[in-house]
A and B are shown apart, each in its own frame.
Chain A
Amino acid sequence: KAGVTQTPRYLIKTRGQQVTLSCSPISGHRSVSWYQQTPGQGLQFLFEYFSETQRNKGNFPGRFSGRQFSNSRSEMNVSTLELGDSALYLCASSFSDRVAYNEQFFGPGTRLTVL
């Protein structure tokens, strides 16, 4: 099976712009989670989608949003970019269809730089 893919791998934006990142999960996986990784804050959970519904959300401002399509692909959007949004954004997919643990498989990440 192909792994989790994320596009683009690298992105440079300026303050005030918006950005959309994409994540394609492993075939058959219905859950997609997003994480932000920065040197200062480490890895922080953004949100999780399952069957096109946001099931859980981390403590991030409303500028961060996401969605999931019927094929389980997911996008996250950040509007009005700030310098502090510079980070590696990781997406992870799992089969999860109930309240239990299913291993999350991570993508390579999208490195976002805000100038």
Chain B
Amino acid sequence: AQTVTQSQPEMSVQEAETVTLSCTYDTSESNYYLFWYKQPPSRQMILVIRQEAYKQQNATENRFSVNFQKAAKSFSLKISDSQLGDTAMYFCAFFLPYGGSQGNLIFGKGTKLSVKP
């Protein structure tokens, strides 16, 4: 079974600074997807960034980038130039695209990020 662990329940960062959220996962599979989702206080979950396991290049979306270390089963999210609107719960998630796992995102427990002015 796949598991996702986020070891930082809460973090805070000053506006305009950089913060890194950690995520580790466990799987014996080689083909999978990893995601970071953001859930602002309004509760709508939004996809921030995704990484395909077969791609060595780390994904980047504007101020958001990941450090994907497949051998170490580590998938951290770096937020540069933090903004007040980045305040949210961040969830790391794992997806296996076969084997009857359709639709099943496996989430970590989340990291509550507060961006302070």
Q: How far is the CB of A23 from chain B (nearest CB, A)?
A: 13
- In the complex the two chains form, is A96's CB within 8 Å of B103's CB? yes
**CB within 8 Å for A42 and B104 given contacts A90-B45, A108-B43, A108-B44:** no
Q: How far is the CB of A49 from chain B (nearest CB, A)?
A: 8
Q: Which residue of the partner chain, among A32, A45, A103, contacts B47 with CB atoms under 8 Å?
A: A103
Chain B 92-117, CB-CB to A under 8 Å as 1, else 0, gives: 00010110111111111110000000
- Is A104's beta carbon under 8 Å from chain B? yes
Q: Which residue of the partner chain, among A45, A90, A101, A109, contacts B106 with CB atoms under 8 Å?
A: A45
What is the predominant secondary structure among interface residues of chain A facing chain B?
strand
- Is B64's beta carbon under 8 Å from chain A? no
A31 partner residues in chain B, CB cutoff 8 A: 102-103
A100-B52 Cα distance, complex, nearest whole Å: 11
- Is B68's beta carbon under 8 Å from chain A? no
Q: How far is the CB of B73 from chain A (nearest CB, A)?
A: 19
Within 8 A of B (CB), among A3-44: 31-33, 35, 42-44
Within 8 A of B (CB), among A44-98: 44-45, 47-48, 50, 55-56, 58, 88, 90, 92, 94, 96
A2 partner residues in chain B, CB cutoff 8 A: none
- Is B91's beta carbon under 8 Å from chain A? yes
Interface of B toward A, CB cutoff 8 Å: 33, 37, 42-47, 50, 91, 95, 97-98, 100-110
- Taking A55-B103, A101-B97, A104-B105 as given, write out 14 further A-B residue pairs in contact, using a Cβ cutoff of 8 Å, ordered by the A residue number: A42-B108, A43-B107, A43-B110, A44-B107, A56-B101, A56-B103, A56-B104, A58-B104, A92-B45, A101-B33, A104-B47, A106-B45, A106-B46, A108-B42
26 A-B Cβ contacts within 8 A? A33-B104, A42-B107, A42-B108, A42-B109, A45-B103, A45-B104, A45-B105, A48-B102, A48-B104, A50-B102, A56-B102, A58-B104, A92-B103, A94-B103, A96-B102, A99-B98, A99-B102, A100-B97, A101-B50, A101-B97, A105-B47, A106-B37, A106-B44, A108-B42, A108-B44, A109-B43
